[in-house]
Chain A
């Protein structure tokens, strides 16, 4: 619980000194896992929380928050800082109004994986760094952290802060293995076209078009979205129709190609557990392999591989199916 106290203390300190007017952080929900983003003020810090269930990326909320008056303090985990930088590059948020505090993250947990262990009544979940201590059904069990990691944390891209005015790190964060990130994409690439089609048909046909992946995405910040136009002919979903969901997911991923920081929020919020990050990651892999290594949000820059070109770029037929 040490980190939570440090974080809360930092928020109180900034609010008391008047350096900031509001704090954007996580608020405790009804159950042990549903911590959600919330705005805190000097008079109201009830329910403030930071633990292993604070997966939501707060960067996107700054788009609206930084339009309001006053300064704001935001807590960002290492991967969230990339989204923050990307939004600053796109002039979507006002950097001057924001104080960024980087927070230690050992990987967030997925409550579905805990429930899948088969407990009837879960009383308490505690963070013991490498192990997670679960008190349930009158007994205490220790489970390895890796087994319970959220889908967005399984292939962590980096534990380095891309931007931070201050950081709160108690325990050292282990740098993830960079090569493992694209292993699933590579496996899919090795399959035949038919196998891949079956795989994606199976996954994408689960889509209920709730638009959660779009709404949570820190790169999707258009005020008018193509999918909200009911004259476009692609707004609803027809029964037994394989086209609709493919078009939606291709265009959703294509619109953020080159800007997607691979934060994995889309897969985390998907109620049908579709591995949407694999679509985004394919674009990232193609960009890396063909147009040079690129990580969106690493720095504040205008560079974006999709609005850029070189005279020696490969031809489409050289790239497709490689």
Chain B
């Protein structure tokens, strides 16, 4: 019995919201450049990083995510001129609030990745997965109703 639990390595589930114009293209470039990033990163494509509503982040945690990362164009490069400036304020306040309620600050992250930064995308994802693996399972924001029975 003990052997089984020891062999069962913790694989975090990461949700990455990527903006269509920069970060999603960055992920594409990482793929076509044969740069690897962990398979437990699930990418959700959004038209702009500011499309991400605070409820999206919380819902991702509810449905079992162990970490949520939001990627957008570099400030000043937004396809819609100012979307990521708004993201920056919104997410600063939301993540600050989550930390205030006791959620580890490493669990949430915002990164700016351009379409030309395939290498950065892969590096960011590898680093984030490493951080979350070290942190362990998301217990503080889990929803028991959404737990899969395995």
Contacts and interface: CB of A to CB of B under 8 A. Distances in A.
A243 B62 contact: yes
A129 to B, nearest CB: 37
A131 to B, nearest CB: 37
A320 B89 contact: no
A321 B99 contact: yes
A286 B99 CA distance: 12
B102 A250 contact: no
Contacts of B136: none
Interface string A121-133: 0000000000000
A199, A243, A254, A279: most-surrounded residue (chain B CB, <10 A): A243
Contacts of B120: none
A198 B102 contact: yes
Given A197-B103, A317-B110, A286 B92 contact: yes
Interface string B71-88: 000011000001001101
Contacts of B61: 243
A260 to B, nearest CB: 12
Contacts, number: 122
B58 A251 contact: yes
Interface in A285-322: 286-287, 290-291, 305-311, 313-317, 319-322
Main SS class of interface, A: helix
B61, B93, B105, B140: most-surrounded residue (chain A CB, <10 A): B93
Given A246-B141, A306-B90, A309-B89, A316 B110 contact: yes
A194 interface: yes
A244 B96 CA distance: 19
Contact of B54 (A193, A254, A322): A254
Contact of B100 (A188, A194, A310): A188
B52 interface: no
B97 interface: yes
B134 interface: no
A238 B109 CA distance: 29
B94 interface: yes
Contacts of A226: 55
A14 interface: no
A166 to B, nearest CB: 38
Interface string A247-266: 10011011001000000000
B144 interface: yes
B101 A316 contact: no
A242 B147 CA distance: 13
B55, B102, B143, B144: most-surrounded residue (chain A CB, <10 A): B102
Contacts of A201: 102
Nearest to B70: A316
Nearest to B100: A282
Interface of A: 188-189, 193-201, 226, 238, 240-244, 246-247, 250-251, 253-254, 257, 279, 282-283, 286-287, 290-291, 305-311, 313-317, 319-322
Given A287-B93, A316-B110, 18 more contacts: A196-B102, A197-B103, A238-B143, A242-B142, A243-B142, A251-B55, A257-B93, A286-B92, A286-B96, A306-B90, A309-B85, A309-B89, A311-B85, A316-B92, A316-B108, A317-B109, A320-B99, A320-B108
When A and B form their complex, which 7 residue pairs have the shortest distance between CB atoms, in order from nearest? A197-B102, A309-B85, A243-B143, A196-B102, A316-B92, A319-B92, A321-B105
30 contacts: A193-B103, A193-B104, A194-B102, A195-B102, A196-B100, A196-B102, A197-B140, A226-B55, A238-B143, A240-B144, A242-B141, A243-B141, A243-B142, A243-B143, A246-B58, A247-B55, A251-B55, A253-B97, A254-B93, A282-B97, A286-B92, A311-B85, A315-B88, A315-B110, A316-B108, A316-B109, A317-B105, A319-B92, A320-B105, A321-B105
